[in-house]
Amino acid sequence: MSKIKILPEILSNKIAAGEVIERPASVVKELVENSLDAESTRIIVEIEKGGRSLIRISDNGTGMSHDDALLALERYATSKIYREPDLFSIHTLGFRGEALPSIASVSRFSLVTREDAADVGTEIIVDGGKIKKVSEIGAPPGTMVTVKQLFFNTPARRKFLKSIGTEMSHIADIVASTAVAQPAVRFKLIHNSKTLKNWSPTTNSFDRVIEVVGKDLAKALHPIEFNANGISISGWVCAPQVTRTTSRGVYVYVNQRFVRDRVIQHAVFQGYSQRLVKGQFPIAVVLISVPFDQVDVNVHPSKGEVRFTRQHQIHEAVKLAVAQTLEQIDHPQWRPRTWGPVASSQDSSEVSDSVVSYQRTEDRFQTKLSYNQYQGTDTQQSAKRDAKPAIRREQTPIWQKKRFSDLRVIGQFHDAYLVCEAHDGLILIDQHAAHERILFERLRGQSAQAKKAAQQLLVPETIDLGFRESGVLEKLIPDLKLLGLDIEHFGGNTFVVKSVPAPLAGRDVNPLIIEMVENLVAVGYSPGPQKALEQCCMMMACHGAIRANQRLSKEQINGLLEQLDSCDNPSHCPHGRPTWIRWDVKTLEKSFKRIV
Ligand code: ADP
Ligand code: MG
């Protein structure tokens, strides 16, 4: 007798539910996606007790006929793909045909649906996967799915549900991330009869974004744009001064599908390279459009991951799109607030009072203008803006002057900070961070000179590494040599350092190399040779830079300021920390209550 049996349908649906439905938020995600696929323009999500007792999604979409509604509850029943090739060119959010039967198998479920042209709707009641009742019912056009007592018949799953607050925050995240890419759809989220979100439909996608991420971020968000080789990227990135402690502020969409894609997230972080310190995460909305046949969404049952046929190109495109916008923000369109003469009072009124503030230049203004054109802002407002660039153009030469070396150095504080006077404020410069930036840019601009300037070690240093570390270092040897760090493989896991870049002369090179290699081993994601080298430069800069607790001569301080002026990004150390902070006179006067 055969030992192998085909599973009963209810059981196979429950197994599928194990993959697709992890928690209440997964139900919300699947049902909202169905509503969107059904072309709804209004989706209401009602929740009770974090989704434990009730999840109800109502939409005004196409609805289903009586027969289709019954079919929809069968496993693998879908209206979205018909033939095998369709699977490789998916235009809809759903396609697997398993959400409804899966949800219905692990809850007390009901579906009420009506097509616009139909006189009457259909109601289907399902209990733990068994259809209990099918009837005609009066209903508005659209669909309403009610899910009560989720996981009532899979106690192990129900036990794993977290607190109401946690489950609710997952639900709110799903609604928010979906809403960002669907500005034309109204979303309403209700919990225990209280409306938490009510986002009106809009034609302006930026309006929806700021409704979701917070209106206070509106000014800090800057548009990104990239178009080449069939890849189009749009969205917004936040200035690096505003960060989060998790990656939840990074919203990535591929053909309007919200995805948690590590490759793209990594590309976004790389775009922010050196502007954020460890543990800081940016806020960004990245919308990627690629031809449907170049992205595989059938990678994971919950469709939260995708695979691209041109993964590397997409990664580079996202990185570039983000980096270009950020460069515009801090250089040259946005400069650190100048401490040269301020040209007009009209201008200073726009400067924020924050410690590290940024001043708008005319270029920034133009960026904003084109951004508003992109947003279709009304012409009256643009005309009023139009009036300002003239004033700003006069100021441009001031900002092109050297800046750090124009400061009057008051002295050194704690042997760690340079205290300087600017025309309109007090500047503190972190001497280690500033020197780190200078050395990093010097090392990164590797050249024949770097090799020439290398210091031969009188007694070559020997280093013993672990097996994996040796493999990593061996690959880096030719590139490190170009930087002036000459290492030879001695055999086995032993290496010999023969010369070091000039800034590292006299420093203990052993810990540096171990740190460098261990860091590259730990990254886990192969960052590519360029990135690996950049990281090495960062560490060399850190090891070679003057330290805090180091007294500097006047000449050394002046030299530092001059070199800082020639840096591309003088405002951040390579790890993303600020190199300087500023108190403007007004802030100080306010603090001393000289002015109110
Ligand atoms: P999939 O979305 O993968 O096709 P589902 O099990 O989620 O599978 O849904 C099955 C089918 O039921 C869908 O293909 C669609 O035709 C229909 N359907 C589900 N929800 C709705 C809805 N809200 N409005 C209209 N049709 C729906
Ligand atoms: Mg679906």
Q: Choose between 238 and 466: higher pLDDT.
A: 238
Asked whether the predicted pLDDT for residue 393 surpasses 60, the reply is no
d(CA 240, CA 275): 6
Neighbouring residues of the ion ligand 2, judged by CB less than 5 Å: 34, 94, 99
Asked whether the predicted pLDDT for residue 348 surpasses 80, the reply is no
Asked if residue 333 lies in contact with residue 559, where contact means CB atoms within 8 angstroms, the answer is no
Question: What is the 194 CA–ligand 1 centroid distance (Å)?
Answer: 28
**pLDDT tier at 376 (50, 70, 90 boundaries)?**
very low
The CB of 99 under 6 Å from ligand 1? The reply is: yes
Separation in Å, CA 203 to CA 32, 36, 58, 240, 377? 20, 17, 22, 28, 11
- Give the number of the atom of ligand 1 that is nearest the alpha carbon of residue 102: 6
With left for phi above 0 and alpha for psi between -120 and 50, is residue 438 left, alpha or beta?
A: alpha
d(CA 432, CA 120): 74
Per-residue pLDDT reduced to its tens digit, 168-177: 999 999 999 9
Question: What is the 100 CA–ligand 2 centroid distance (Å)?
Answer: 7
Asked if residue 577 lies in contact with residue 277, where contact means CB atoms within 8 angstroms, the answer is yes
Q: Choose between 370 and 278: higher pLDDT.
A: 278
Asked whether the predicted pLDDT for residue 435 surpasses 60, the reply is yes
Q: What is the rounded end-to-end Cα distance, in angstroms, of the chain?
A: 92
Among 36, 37, 82, the mutation site with the greatest number of ligand 1 atoms within 8 A of its Cβ is: 37
For residue 80, with 0-12 CB atoms within 10 Å meaning exposed, 13-18 middle and 19 or more buried, which class applies? middle
Per-residue pLDDT reduced to its tens digit, 529-557: 677 778 888 888 888 899 888 999 999 99
pLDDT mean over 140-156? 96
d(CA 425, CA 353): 12
Nearest protein Cα to ligand 1, atom 2: 94
**pLDDT tier at 568 (50, 70, 90 boundaries)?**
confident
d(CA 202, CA 3): 58
Nearest protein Cα to ligand 1, atom 17: 72
Sheet holding 425-430, edge to edge: 408-413, 417-422, 425-430, 580-584
At 136, the amino acid letter reads E
Question: What is the 92 CA–ligand 2 centroid distance (Å)?
Answer: 9
Per-residue pLDDT reduced to its tens digit, 123-138: 999 999 999 999 999 9
The CB of 77 under 6 Å from ligand 1? The reply is: yes
Among 12, 20, 95, 100, the mutation site with the greatest number of ligand 1 atoms within 8 A of its Cβ is: 100
Q: State pTM to two decimals.
A: 0.67
Nearest protein Cα to ligand 1, atom 23: 35
Strand blocks (E) in 386-517: 408-413, 417-422, 425-430, 455-464, 486-491, 494-500
Looking at the CA of 57, name the nearest ligand. 1
Per-residue pLDDT reduced to its tens digit, 62-110: 999 999 999 999 887 888 888 888 777 888 888 888 899 999 999 999 9
Per-residue pLDDT reduced to its tens digit, 221-275: 999 999 988 999 999 999 887 888 888 889 999 999 999 888 899 999 989 988 8
The CB of 62 under 6 Å from ligand 1? The reply is: yes
Residues 6 or more apart whose Cβ sits within 8 Å of residue 122: 64, 65, 66, 69, 111, 112, 113, 114, 134, 135, 136, 137
Looking at the CA of 96, name the nearest ligand. 1
Asked if residue 488 lies in contact with residue 518, where contact means CB atoms within 8 angstroms, the answer is no
The CB of 44 under 6 Å from ligand 1? The reply is: no
Q: Choose between 442 and 144: higher pLDDT.
A: 144
Instruction: Give the model's pLDDT for residue 448.
Output: 55
- pLDDT mean across residues, the chain: 82
Q: Choose between 193 and 384: higher pLDDT.
A: 193
